[in-house]
């Protein structure tokens, strides 16, 4: 049984930084795409970043967020810098059965999801 668990969310002031972690258990995802998505209140769940080794980013976070992976530990991270109030959302870790480049940006490509971690950025 696959389990993804996010951690590292919290409350931060605008301009601050947070680092999210995602721990995967039950299967190794080193060859497969993994990603981060976010959902703000009243909005759809949106793509943030994904990686199959190399990364792709949503335009809204490019240059501020960095996705990374530690495959031997089955971990994924999202370093978030220069946070803004519009980054406030629940952030979800997701894993796919997709290999190759580029990693998918659509939610439907990711059958495995974590429970989410809240990120709140105050102005």
Count how many residues are written for the chain.
Answer: 123
Strand bridging mode 10-13 / 117-122: parallel
As a whole number, the mean pLDDT across the chain is 96
Give 91's strand partners: 38, 117
pLDDT in tens, 20-65: 999 999 998 988 999 999 999 999 999 999 999 899 999 999 999 9
What is the Cα–Cα distance from 76 to 95, expressed in whole angstroms?
Answer: 10
SS3 11: strand
102: Cβ contacts below 8 Å, ≥ 6 apart: 50, 52, 54, 56
Position 80 confidence tier, pLDDT thresholds 50, 70, 90: very high
Mean of pLDDT values over 94-109: 95
């Amino acid at each position: 049984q696959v389990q993804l668990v996010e951690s590292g969310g919290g409350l931060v002031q605008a301009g601050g930084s947070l680092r999210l972690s995602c721990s995967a258990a039950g299967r190794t995802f080193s060859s497969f795409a993994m990603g981060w998505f976010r959902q703000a209140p009243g909005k759809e769940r949106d793509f943030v970043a994904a990686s199959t080794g190399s990364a792709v980013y949503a335009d809204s976070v490019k240059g501020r967020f960095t996705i990374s992976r530690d495959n031997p530990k089955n971990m994924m991270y999202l370093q978030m810098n220069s946070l803004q109030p519009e980054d406030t959302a629940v952030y979800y870790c997701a894993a796919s059965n997709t290999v190759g480049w580029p990693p998918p940006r659509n939610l439907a490509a990711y059958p495995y999801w974590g429970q989410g971690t809240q990120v709140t950025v105050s102005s």
